[in-house]
Structure 1
Amino acid sequence: MAKRYTLTKPQRAAAVLVAMGKSRASQLLKFFKSDELRVMIDAAHTLKTIPQPDLEELVKEFEAEFAVGAGLMDSAETMQKILGEALSEEEMFAITGRSHDLHPNEPELSVWEKLPKVDTDELVAFLGNESPQLCAVVLSRMDSKIAAAIIEKLEPGLRKATVARLLSSKDVPDPVLGTVENRLEEVFDLSGNTAAAGEGASRLADILNQMQKEVSDDLLEQLTPLVGEKKVNGVKSKLFRFEDIPSLSKESRTALCDGLSTEVLTIALRGADDELKEAVLSSISQRTRRMIESELEAGKAKASEIEQARKSIATLALRMAQEGRIDLQHSEEEAA
């Protein structure tokens, strides 16, 4: 039994959890703190095969049940599986720095295997600014249905030249093909860095939210043929302005207005159209509504003050949406 006592306490705890099986161990994991789990995970990675007798003694010490079987093996992977069933993806990453993926060494997909996942409109937008030669190289390596859909959307002149290149295509030298693959991987972020892409959309949305609506709408319209409608829609989903309040549901408008002072609402509503005024005023109490309506008839405000008040309300709406307190998704029924 001497071997058993060479284990540290975290190792012994990890050994018992693994021996108990995923079902029982998962029930116990919720009683551990994140730092304790992290220590046990590290300990599990240091465990080697533990003889059955020693393991039985460990289980008895913890007064837990143990099913008779072979000695403990593959402790690290088993512990990973237990955690994977007991914890969410976010909790798993926060504790271990790893996801639920137990096979990190799986072969990497090629650019051509990843490319079909890119939105067709994005591919059309990209190829629309490229040479017929490059278009032919890319399309010749894609599924025929996807290639046909893209070719149909190309500008007539480019479409004709691309089809001609496809008809007379020859083997592409490896250096040239490698250059094309690198370009595609860079343009469409095929390296798998979707988080960075999402951050880019969020940063752009933050900037556009600070602009005049007419300017930002014009920019997005110009961006669509360059990056594709899907990416532009991703940015649009993160945009919100004071003028968008009528498109919110009644519940979201009420929750938003509850977090605002009467003064801010009054300033923001100056110069607003009737639909916008009613969307806001119908979301507050009758007493507050009468106060604001009275102020709107009597006083005035500078354009800069109105703009600042409206931006502060839009900022609050975005923050509340991130916290899950309101929904910024436009309701067709409400907006109609």
Structure 2
Amino acid sequence: MADDNNANGQGGQAASTRPKLEQAAMLLMSLGEADAAEILKHLGPKEVQRLGTAMTQLSNVQQMEVEAVLSGFLNEVRTLTGLGMGSDNYIRNMLVTALGEDKANGLIDRILLGGNTTGLDTLKWMEARSVADIIRNEHPQIQAIVIAYLDSDQSAEILSFFPDKVRLEIMMRVASLDSVQPSALQELNNILEKQFSGSAGSQTKTMGGIKVAAEIVNSLDSSIASDLLESITDVDEDMGTQIQDLMFVFDNLKEVDDRGIQTLLREVSSDILIIALKGADEDLQEKIFKNMSKRAAELLKDDLETKGPVKLSEVEGAQKEILVIARRMADAGEINLGGGGEQML
């Protein structure tokens, strides 16, 4: 939720108080179908899905809000320059110099390879059930590589289409992964009958590991996640403990600093926040309230009090949606999530 104390834009135009995602959706809808489609071509599957959902959920949009969004966009555009055009090599060299090759490789791939949608990247645009069908009869190691490569929320949905025994074996292999030889990636792309979109160099690719396993388990439905974590612990107690220690759950938002909470709230819609807080303890609710304007906090408290009973599945879904946003912002360096949690949602 946006704070009420937003600064006015250029020319006295009040800034929009809607979350940035909704502002982006309003901007795209203002451009018209053709221009909006051209912009969406340059976005990844998750961004397209989030924007598409936001556009379908827009309601009660006033003309002055649209003008505020357009004004804010134009103000930002005015600050841009031509720097960065064709700068892939510059970005690659800068990141390697700053982070070292091992740490930079994953980030480089995410940034520089995002323009192509061949090979493994094609799977990011597919329905989870379709991806599950594609890899269902492959060797568990191939399945693990695919699951480790994709984003955690998509991987979690794909895993939900596998039986418990297969899911356990895949996740054990994901947690044990460290790096993958280029030849193995090429073999996987041959299986997918597409050319791999990444570098064909001789370096191994960092993939999988305990952290990736924890993110995937975090994204699973609570009942599946609990059973899977218990099964992993039964097989390898140390691995299960490490995964659990790295898991970040909704209650852990109490560990995020005030500035991070304020940044996060600007990206969360009021409807989702209300449902999520129905299942939060008093300490977390108070942390949220104190990082909002007084008026916004009072309105949220009133909404919580008047909101009727909510299904547990809806509460968990809303909390997971907020956690997805939080992890995305943490990956982008916008907030710091702090330590992991000990309990499942």
- TM-score band by shorter chain is 0.3 to 0.5
Structure index of larger Rg: 1
Q: Pick 1 or 2: higher relative contact order, CA cutoff 8 A, min separation 6.
A: 2
Q: Scaled by the length of structure 2, what TM-score is found?
A: 0.38
TM-score by length of 1: 0.38
